[in-house]
Amino acid sequence: MRPDDLGATAAMKPIPGPPPVGISQLQRAQDRLSFLYVERCVVHRDSNALTVTDERGVVHVPAATIGALLLGPGTNVTHQAMVLVAESGATCVWVGEQGVRYYAHGRTLTNSSRLLEAQATLVSNQSSRLRVAREMYAMRFPGEDVSGLTMQQLRGREGARVRQAYRDAAQEYGVEWKRRDYRPDDFAGSDPINMALSAATTSLYGVCHAVIVALGCAAGLGFVHTGHARSFVFDVADLYKAEVAIPAAFKVAGEHDLEDIPAETRRLVRDLIVERDLLVRCARDVRRLLTDSETDAIEDAPDWDVIYLWDRKGNRVVGGQNHSDEAPW
């Protein structure tokens, strides 16, 4: 910098707006509201609080207490609100009604990459990948000992259990059931129950996708599914398919007077998501699968916003300092 530049620097205008929230003021992720869903409102900023305004009035929400802000239909969000969300270590995910569709997301919920690294480590090793796949199956269908099953055996068990879930739901809701037959290129060409199943599973995929990206995980690194940009989304959604998507689809298909089966199915899935607290459960289950911890020690770590350098011995090396043996310039 030239000497004559110093005066210009001193005369610079102050940066507008309130300063960023200090890290010491931010709550740990486990102490925050996991997900805050808003729709048909305006999201703005008042100091270090978000304001949510609709025809009923204004609600102030401390930004540091939010884990992820889900922006539903009819939401307008200001630039300053997004700045505050980012500074507070939270994220935004643009979703459909009650989260049943995933559209886009901002940053992740955490500054740490540990969940992502844990996922990549587990999926890159055949033994650990099989262990996670077994745990996923055990979560879906408790009561079975799958500790010694191969992936081929797991797939066989899964197929049998899902087919039974279809038969049970068909009997409960009085729906004629033949087989799963969906046509990605011709949605309306399927029969009513297959249309409802496709709508229900798509809605469930949207919810799980929103949670996965908010937690900073990779949607494409699946354990059971592979080769698709949403492989892990399909893995996680399968945990709740027999509980949410299948009964919702058969219930809708059993009501023969419905004019819009996809819309009715999405609304029922939406209600079940809220009723069964699926967003929070999904976040908990993903953490447990990747870290063996429901409370997520990852977000409880003291190095919330510390950058490390990689070391091939597996040690952490603190960044932001000179590691040369030579004297600095």
**Quick one: pLDDT at residue 20?**
46
**Quick one: pLDDT at residue 30?**
43
pLDDT in tens, 48-69: 889 999 999 999 988 877 777 8
Tokens, residue 307: 């950058």
Q: What is the mean pLDDT of residues 11-25?
A: 46
**Assigned CATH topology for domain 23-95:** Ribosomal Protein L15; Chain: K; domain 2 (3.100.10)
The whole-angstrom separation of Cα 132 and Cα 112 is: 22
The whole-angstrom separation of Cα 63 and Cα 67 is: 9
pLDDT in tens, 279-315: 889 989 999 999 976 554 334 444 445 566 666 666 6
Closest CA to 296 of 308, 312, 307, 285: 285
What are the distances in angstroms from CA 206 to CA 127, 319, 327? 29, 37, 54
The torsion angles phi and psi of 36, rounded to 5 degrees, stand at: -115, 120
- Asked whether residue 276 carries a pLDDT value surpassing 50, the answer given is yes
Residues 6+ apart with CB under 8 A from 92: 68, 69, 70, 71, 77, 82, 85, 105, 106
- How is residue 319 annotated by DSSP? -
> 22-31, 65-74, 88-97, 261-270: lowest mean pLDDT where?
22-31
The confidence band for 88, taking pLDDT boundaries of 50, 70 and 90, is confident
- Asked whether residue 32 carries a pLDDT value surpassing 70, the answer given is no
Q: What is the mean pLDDT of residues 218-234?
A: 93
Residues 6+ apart with CB under 8 A from 16: none
**Quick one: pLDDT at residue 220?**
94
Closest CA to 110 of 319, 297, 316, 277: 297
Q: What is the mean pLDDT of residues 182-203?
A: 81
**Quick one: pLDDT at residue 277?**
87
Type of residue at 234: F
Grouping H, G, I as helix, E, B as strand and the rest as coil, residue 217 is: coil
- Asked whether residue 5 carries a pLDDT value surpassing 60, the answer given is no
Provide CATH 3.100.10.20 ranges for the chain: 23-95
Provide CATH 1.20.120.920 ranges for the chain: 114-291
In CATH terms, is domain 114-291 a member of 3.30.460.10?
no
Is-contact 294 141, C-beta < 8 A? no
238 is in an annotated binding site: yes
144 is in an annotated binding site: no
The continuous run of DSSP H or E covering 81 comes out as helix 79-87
Of all residues in the chain, the percent with pLDDT exceeding 90 is 36
Q: State the pTM of this model.
A: 0.69
